Amino acid sequence: MPSLAHFITTHILDQPNGCITFADYMEWALYHPVMGYYATRALDMGKKGDFVTASHLSEDFGQLLALQFVQMWNVLGKPQKFTLLEMGAGQGKVAYDILKFLGQHHDDLYSILDYAIIERSAQFVNLQQQVLRDFSVRWCSWDDFPPDSIVGCCFSNELVDAFPVHRLTIQNGELAELYVTVNRDGWSKLDQPHPVPSSLIHQFKDQIGPLSTPELGSYFSFVGINLPSLMYEDGYVTEVNLAALDWLEKIAVRMNYGYLLTIDYGHLSPQYYHPARCQGTLQCYYHHGHHPDPYRWVGQQDITCHVDFTALQRQGERWGLKTQGFTQQALFLMSLGLGDRLVALTTPNGDGNQSDLSDLNMILQRRDALQALINPMGLGNFKVLIQSKGVADDSLTWFSTDPVTPVRG
């Protein structure tokens, strides 16, 4: 079978203008059904793979999310059907920890729970079905949810950063798009442009062109950013995630009442599109290292971009979702009791009452994991956005506006 790079090259050469948008390139590199990153290497994510997510560190992450869902269910008046729709469930670890915890500690919610997953990668669906074989879970597509059908909470962790993005630049003071074209520089040495050997590392390069869709032009006024303007220099590079807007619309339309909880790394628009962030936020992950070159190791490395949380909030408002709150993961998890868990680890007669060395090792490992979840230089600086539809009561623990209610952690 030809390599993914060869497949993309052929596709580019078939285009009348000899280039494709970066979003199309990222789409193939990550989601080609056989050779894309999410069909191959991503399956190993975790300590063996290219990156870890919060769920790999400790089951506490899923358990604390479960506590948030219990609270949401209560605020909604304990509806007798409550859907938890997880989007982009990876190896199924978050789902496993949530379901196990609810089964053990919150049987009232567990017994009526409708746990659904929307997962794009067929290989991940297989893995999730093995990991979650002891639980009642259904794998769905968007078509399984008619308009106004969802009562509950739709949620994702590190999903939106994996959507294909458009890359934009400024040229002569005007907004332009960065397309992907084939790098012909190496071809003269090869004597034949076709087929292109997969050994060429930099088989692709950027090419500047006009915007591929007017939505890219209107995006910046939508999020309140004056771009282009004199504050931005020629050569400024950034990204726009139009797929995130489509995704949010899909959810909002299907939600009857309930919540949307999004966890990811990212910023509000003023930070995201700060003139000083002149090379954008695109990062690639390979063997726990990261770099900004999306044309290396095609299909073998993860490609991600930070999330513009202002865009999610504005798009939510456009489709009837109210922002309940926006904060850092560290504060979110602390308010759900992560601090209590840390304290209990070092308290005699708490979980911290170790009897032998192996217990002590486990306690130290768990303490490190809990600290990693709130590390302000790492996962703790991830952002959490909760939006709601048709919910009158704003009283989720972590977003209390009542100054006398302390953060539990």
Ligand X SMILES: C[S@@+](CC[C@H](N)C(=O)[O-])C[C@H]1O[C@@H](n2cnc3c(N)ncnc32)[C@H](O)[C@@H]1O
Residue written as tokens 């994510």? 45
Task: Measure the CA–CA gap between 10 and 237, rounded to whole angstroms.
Answer: 27
Closer residue to ligand X in complex, CB, 251/396:
251
Among 50, 158, 177, 239, binds ligand X (CB under 6 A): 158
Q: For the CB of residue 305, give the shortest distance to ligand X in the complex, in Å.
A: 12
Would you tell me the crossing angle of helices 338-345 and 60-75 to the nearest 10 degrees? 140
Backbone region of residue 258 per phi and psi (left: phi > 0; alpha: psi in -120 to 50; beta: other values)? left
Task: Measure the CA–CA gap between 87 and 128, rounded to whole angstroms.
Answer: 12
Among 9, 21, 53, 58, binds ligand X (CB under 6 A): 53
Which residues ranging from 60 to 99 are in contact with ligand X (CB under 6 A)?
87-90, 93-94
Q: Give how many residues touch ligand X by CB under 6 A.
A: 18
Closer residue to ligand X in complex, CB, 162/248:
162
Cα 71-337-306 angle, rounded to 5 deg: 85
Among 38, 73, 285, 295, binds ligand X (CB under 6 A): 38
| Of 9, 46, 40, nearest in space to 300 by CA | 40
Closer residue to ligand X in complex, CB, 240/345:
240
Task: Measure the CA–CA gap between 298 and 75, rounded to whole angstroms.
Answer: 46
Closer residue to ligand X in complex, CB, 158/308:
158
Which residues ranging from 350 to 389 are in contact with ligand X (CB under 6 A)?
none
Backbone angles phi, psi at 33, to 5 degrees: -60, -20
> How far is the first Cα of the chain from the last one, in angstroms, to the nearest whole number?
54
Task: Measure the CA–CA gap between 246 and 31, rounded to whole angstroms.
Answer: 17
Q: For the CB of residue 25, give the shortest distance to ligand X in the complex, in Å.
A: 16
Closer residue to ligand X in complex, CB, 119/206:
119
Indicate if the alpha-carbon torsion angle 159, 162, 166, 168 is positive or negative.
positive
Closer residue to ligand X in complex, CB, 87/384:
87
Among 8, 162, 170, 385, binds ligand X (CB under 6 A): 162
Closer residue to ligand X in complex, CB, 53/388:
53
Contact pattern for ligand X over residues 116 through 155, marking x by CB under 6 A: --xxxx--x-------------------------------
Q: How many helices (H) and strands (E) does the chain have?
A: 15, 17
Q: For the CB of residue 219, give the shortest distance to ligand X in the complex, in Å.
A: 19
Q: Which residues bind ligand X (CB under 6 A)?
A: 38, 53, 55, 87-90, 93-94, 118-121, 124, 157-159, 162
